[in-house]
Amino acid sequence: MKKFFINNILLLPYLIILKIRHYCYDNGIFKSRKFDIPIISIGNIAIGGTGKTPHTEYFIKQLMPTHKVAVLSRGYGRKSRGFHLVQTDSTVREVGDEPLQMKRKFVDVVVAVCEKRVKGIELLLALPDEVRPTVIILDDAFQHRKVTPSKNILLVDYNTMLEPGILFPFGRLRDLPEQKRRADMVIVTKCPGEISPEERFIREQHLKLSKNQQLAFSTLKYGDPQSVFEGADRRYIYSKYAILITAVANPKPLQYQLLPDYKIIEKMNFRDHHNFTKVEVHKINRKLAKNPKAVIFTTEKDAQRMMEKTKFSKSVKERLFYIPIEVAFINENAEML
């Protein structure tokens, strides 16, 4: 109780700043820009992975048959500044790992990075007619209020949403919990494949959404392992032993996915978006040399950074695979937009 009180005192200046900021946007003191084409914002109010990229990819696939889709991301972790169109041969350093993953997966979709969302949208709308988007998805933009989206989608993690709503760094929240009222749709992500009526009811009551807010529940589906490097030997997938290397907010779901089929003999987890150093690459080489029968697994996002590294041994390149993931909605209409 004493710790909770002290934390609240320390967080008071941050809390006041957030409340003033939202008050200014809500009352027109700070201006928010509207655009003539549909803008879909996808984001969260908590730190840690809620599945923004796979959900963005889900909506890309849903919109592609009827729209010219563009995705605008901040490009977290990139070393460049300003507006950049992502190409399939871009580097993580130039555009960030998640935008690069989406571009390589959807080569006909315009993917761009820009830390200023309004400027990014303006430049996308200035593209030539043949590629000018008719809908733009803003990745990780729920907090960024300089743009008024046509649809605001908030993601919350099934496994952590019932935790006390405390602001970072003492809790998981990076914005005020009451800001969920701005969401047109709330998606409870990373659910188990089947949810009991009781568990669903508990989360519905916890969210306290209005009648105008749509609620959906989604789960993650894991695909077959894919090679990170050309020339990988798929026979290693049938090994009983695995080394797991991740640089994501929460590696546990992937670990649990692998456990029924593999004994995980080594785990290396780095902070989210971590850029692997030469020392770390050599360490991975040595770990495999000590465990020559093992296969190495990573995430699709990490694979974007790993494939740029030239110092991996031949043995690592033959055994390194990523596990793709995609979103599936539970007992919901497939037409979510």
195, part of any domain: yes
204, part of any domain: yes
Q: Which of 163, 187, 221 is the last residue of a domain?
A: 221
Does residue 236 sit in the same domain as residue 253?
yes
Does residue 263 sit in the same domain as residue 154?
no
In contact, 52 and 44? CB cutoff 8 Å: yes
In contact, 55 and 155? CB cutoff 8 Å: yes
Task: Give the count of domains, the chain.
Answer: 2
Biggest CA pair distance of the chain: 63
In 3D, which of 292, 296, 293 has the Cα closest to residue 281?
296
Write out 13-44 in H/E/C secondary structure: HHHHHHHHHHHHHHCCCCCCECCCCCEEEEEC
- Give the pLDDT of the chain (337 residues) as one tens digit per residue: 455 555 667 788 889 999 999 999 999 999 999 999 999 999 999 887 788 999 999 999 999 999 999 999 999 889 999 999 999 999 999 999 999 999 999 999 999 999 999 999 999 999 999 999 999 999 999 999 999 999 999 999 999 888 888 888 787 889 999 999 999 999 999 999 889 999 999 999 999 999 999 999 999 999 999 999 998 999 999 999 999 999 988 888 899 999 999 999 999 999 888 889 999 999 999 999 999 999 999 999 999 999 999 899 999 999 999 999 999 999 765 456 6
Does residue 194 sit in the same domain as residue 242?
no
- Other beta carbons within 10 angstroms of residue 226's beta carbon come to 13
Does residue 234 sit in the same domain as residue 163?
no
Q: Which of 204, 221, 238 is the last residue of a domain?
A: 221
Does residue 140 sit in the same domain as residue 68?
yes
Burial string for 89-112 (b: 16+ CB within 10 Å, else e) reads ebbbebbbbbbbbbbbbbeebbbb
In contact, 218 and 51? CB cutoff 8 Å: yes
Does residue 165 sit in the same domain as residue 86?
yes
Residue 194, pLDDT score: 87
Residue 333, pLDDT score: 57
> Strand, helix or coil at 265?
strand
CATH number of the domain bearing residue 142: 3.40.50
Residue 7, pLDDT score: 63
> Strand, helix or coil at 135?
strand
Does residue 230 sit in the same domain as residue 203?
no
26, part of any domain: no
25, part of any domain: no
Summarize pLDDT for 314-332 with one digit per residue, the tens: 999 999 999 999 999 997 6
Does residue 155 sit in the same domain as residue 237?
no
253, part of any domain: yes
**What's 255's DSSP letter?**
H
Residue 337, pLDDT score: 63
146, part of any domain: yes
For residues 185 and 187, what is the distance between their CA atoms, to the nearest angstrom?
A: 6
Does residue 140 sit in the same domain as residue 44?
yes
Q: Kind and range of the H or E element at 57? A: helix 52-63
Residue 223, amino acid: G
In contact, 36 and 85? CB cutoff 8 Å: no
Does residue 173 sit in the same domain as residue 281?
no
Residue 166, pLDDT score: 81
Does residue 57 sit in the same domain as residue 99?
yes
Q: Which of 221, 238, 258 is the last residue of a domain?
A: 221
In contact, 213 and 183? CB cutoff 8 Å: yes
pTM for this entry: 0.91
**Residue span of the structural domain in which 243 resides:** 226-324
